[in-house]
Amino acid sequence: MSGNIITIDGPSGAGKSTIARLAALRLGLRYLDTGAMYRAVTYHCMHAGIRLDDPKAIAGALKGLDLQVELSLDGPMRVFVGGKEITDKIRTQEVTRNIHYVADVMEVRNFLVEMQRKIGENGNLVTEGRDQGTLVFPNASLKVYMFATPAVRARRRHAELQARGAETTYEEVLEDVSKRDYLDMGRELGGLKKAMDAVELDTSELSPDQVAESIVKLAKSRLKMQTRKIDKSALEAARRQAEEGKKQG
């Protein structure tokens, strides 16, 4: 591993994707969206006719999978399978509903962890997920563990769903958030854990900009990194891209 790697882990709904993208932009680092990689494998299996309730079939589908990701300093990560871009196609609700089948297969996790580490060999990276600071990059330059109370995360998710016209109650969303926390923390491989040397950030009462600025300040003080000058339009575009990704799944 060379250069600076910043890992951001935490439960679903803590705002990791939005904040990681904003922090990467400010620090002039690449942003790695690990969730998109699991979505890509899910999309591949769905379109290859793989039974998603068959872990062996999912594992077998990796043998012919040509998955590539393209990271940049100023835009979202682009995803390709077989040379064809699927960046937008992996953000459907159908993929979202089926991703857990794929994410729980050990061969998939091993395949993507190896790929993530390969990407990290060049350093200069902000990456987010559940196991980035504990499993994928245990020697990362800076590790952050973001969290918010289940009630706050459920309120955020409920507002997003209402904006999309979904008919669901806050109580139903809160139950779903609590169930997901239980499952994520109980996973034997790639489970949600806080690295011993991670800095904890409670995002419950903070905006994405405030949390991103906290991470930027940590990077500047601990890693002696410098921020780069970014015009307001670029920051606003990054916010819109991150929010659109959340709305799509």
Q: What distance in Å separates the CA atoms of residue 24 and residue 202, rounded to the nearest whole number? A: 19
In the chain, alpha helices (H): 16-27, 34-47, 55-61, 93-103, 106-120, 150-163, 170-186, 208-222, 232-248
pTM for this predicted structure = 0.83
SS3 call for 4: coil
The domain limits of the chain are 5-244
225-235 pLDDT per residue, tens: 777 666 556 66
| Cα angle: 158, vertex 162, 168; to 5 degrees | 65
Q: Note the pLDDT of residue 249.
A: 43
Alpha-carbon Rg for the chain in angstroms:
17
169-199 as b/e, with b when 16 or more CB fall inside 10 Å?
Answer: eeeebbebbeebbeebeeeeebebbbbeebb
Which of the residue ranges 75-89, 106-120, 127-141, 178-192 would you say has the lowest mean pLDDT? Answer: 178-192
Average pLDDT, the chain: 86
172-195 pLDDT per residue, tens: 888 888 887 877 787 766 778 889
Q: What distance in Å separates the CA atoms of residue 213 and residue 231, rounded to the nearest whole number? A: 15
For domain 5-244, the CATH architecture is 3-Layer(aba) Sandwich (3.40)
